Structure 1
Amino acid sequence: MHEGPVEEDIGGQVAERPGIAAGAPEPAGSRPLRLLTYNVRHCRGTDGRVAPERVARVIAALEPDIVALQEVDVGRARTGGLDQAEAIARLVGMSSHFHPALHVEEERYGDALLTHLPSRLRRADALPGLVRRPGLEPRGALWAEITVGTARLQVLTTHFGLLGAERIAQAEALLGPDWLGDPACREPVVLLGDFNATGWSRAYRRLGRRLTDARRLTGERRWRRGTASFPSRLPLLRIDHVFVSEGVRVDRIAVVDTPLARLASDHLPVLAEIRIGPARDSA
């Protein structure tokens, strides 16, 4: 039902991006790095239409450097057999890494990381479910090492399950020796995705002992209007998160609430601007 750990190198299309020059690497903290997490619901919009190009337009307008996608279809009959990860990456001028949490014959469904920066896939694997509930949707995670100037940023993305006990098991796995506990997963680290967990949930609090919610580093400690990302037409829940380690400064984090974003998926994308440096601002 899943593919095992994989390591792979992908060269970035560096010279084509604004603010990044080809040649000698610039200091890692010299410019903001834009990260986006986006549950695209297999590119099925709130109008019921499957439109990867619409998702790509939402992404391209934000000019991100790294994009984490959840609920991506590859080769599935329901979405015309398209490789959505590759199609979106091509439309926004990026390379892609994909992991199928669900893999049945030729049909795959899971998470993707897109970037125009040089990247190396460190791990792509399943996360645990619940032994007593074998019918739950499989979940997985992706970990890529991305070269940012003179630094190497560890970026992980995931999509947790719907049940509280399931999410706890998945959080513990991510904190374990195969992922965040791996010596190779050294700071700076960013973990982002759809955690199906609000700020008062046990899974969120468990992850918060190891990493910091990026929104807290901007001074926002409570839910307020404009911080929720689901459902897109009337956002009420903040379940799409960006967590960061020491060595990551957060300039800004925002939910992208535009007419097109409200139409393209049932989640709104969350954009974070960070800098990599020896110290970060405290709330």
Structure 2
Amino acid sequence: MEKLMLPASGQDTDTAVAPDLNPWPLTVATYNIHGAIGTDGRLAPQRIADVLREIDADVIALQEVPLGGAGRASVLDLLEEATGFHAVEGPTEDRPERRYGNAVLSRYPIIAKRTIDLSFGSREPRGALDADIDCHGHPLRVIATHLGLQPAERRHQIRLLLQAFDTDRMPVILTGDLNEWFVWGRPLRWLVSHFEPVPAPRTFPSRFPVFALDRLWISPRHRLVRVEVHATPLARLASDHLPLIAHIAG
């Protein structure tokens, strides 16, 4: 897994982080923005920005984010400007004509990022964006991902994710659109074994949610106070997924 330093960080992320530091309290959200195309079929990035203002989370993991390319606007750039947050991208499609994938927005500085390739055979390229965030000197690791549509694909991807990080070095949050609707499927069982059970409210489709596709897992688990879906009229319109929000106590 390649480690990449952001240009302005000036910090060495190979340096061990003291395990007793923690970044709480914190509000974290995950949101599949569907390319900023709403349930009315209209491309409207400003609506996504308005939903993010409604949420007012400290850290936001985003999936299906247009990241620019020849003749294409970067929705992430717009969201970064609208929120005033730090932003980092993790493209799963990275061609001159189109860049697309995961992203993280953070109220706090993002001091390092890594990308994890989760592609499976000839299926659509998938990946995870693995970011280290400095919350007033307290470290937090956030892994934002969007898993595949086939069960075998998701099993492969969860194995890779669980191998890619440990939960001892610093607090960690794994979040994103897992595309997993089998409640007793192996990927969810593996995640419960690695972390602990967490609430999973329904987020998809946004107008009438039936499936809990968007998830959040945290270590240490006892910090998690509440998980809720942001289901305002604007959120139901802005994307086909609803944002999932986690409130983490100090």
Please report how far the alpha carbon of residue 10 of structure 1 lies from its aligned counterpart in structure 2 after TM superposition.
5.4
Q: Which blocks of at least 5 consecutive residues in structure 2 are unaligned?
A: 10-20
Whether 2:93 is the aligned partner of 1:109: answer no
Please, what is the CA RMSD of the aligned residues? Answer: 2.2
What is the aligned-residue identity percentage? Answer: 38
User: C-alpha separation between the residues in 2 aligned to 1:109 and 1:86?
Assistant: 13
User: C-alpha separation between the residues in 2 aligned to 1:54 and 1:115?
Assistant: 19
174, 184, 201: which one pairs with 1:191? 174
User: C-alpha separation between the residues in 2 aligned to 1:4 and 1:152?
Assistant: 19
SS of residue matched to 2:153:
helix
User: C-alpha separation between the residues in 1 aligned to 2:219 and 2:7?
Assistant: 24
Q: Which residue of 2 aligns with 1:6?
A: 4
Q: Which residue of 2 aligns with 1:271?
A: 245
Q: Which residue of 2 aligns with 1:167?
A: 154
Whether 2:136 is the aligned partner of 1:126: answer no
Structure 1 runs of 4+ aligned residues shifted over 4 Å read none
Q: Which residue of 2 aligns with 1:180?
A: 165
SS of residue matched to 2:43:
coil
User: C-alpha separation between the residues in 1 aligned to 2:137 and 2:197?
Assistant: 25
Please report how far the alpha carbon of residue 191 of structure 1 lies from its aligned counterpart in structure 2 after TM superposition.
0.5
How many residue pairs align between the two structures? Answer: 238
Q: Which residue of 1 aligns with 2:47?
A: 54
Distance 1:9 1:186, change over 3 A: farther
Whether contact under 8 Å (1:230, 1:266) holds in the other structure is yes
Q: Which blocks of at least 5 consecutive residues in structure 1 are unaligned?
A: 12-26, 216-222, 277-283
85, 91, 111: which one pairs with 1:100? 91
User: C-alpha separation between the residues in 2 aligned to 1:97 and 1:162?
Assistant: 25
**TM-score, normalization by structure 1:** 0.78
User: C-alpha separation between the residues in 1 aligned to 2:76 and 2:219?
Assistant: 27
SS of residue matched to 1:209:
helix
Q: What amino acid sits opposite 1:38 in the alignment?
A: Y
Q: What amino acid sits opposite 1:214 in the alignment?
A: V
Q: Which residue of 2 aligns with 1:233?
A: 207
Whether 2:233 is the aligned partner of 1:246: answer no
**TM-score, normalization by structure 2:** 0.88
Whether contact under 8 Å (1:5, 1:125) holds in the other structure is no
Q: Which residue of 1 aligns with 2:29?
A: 36
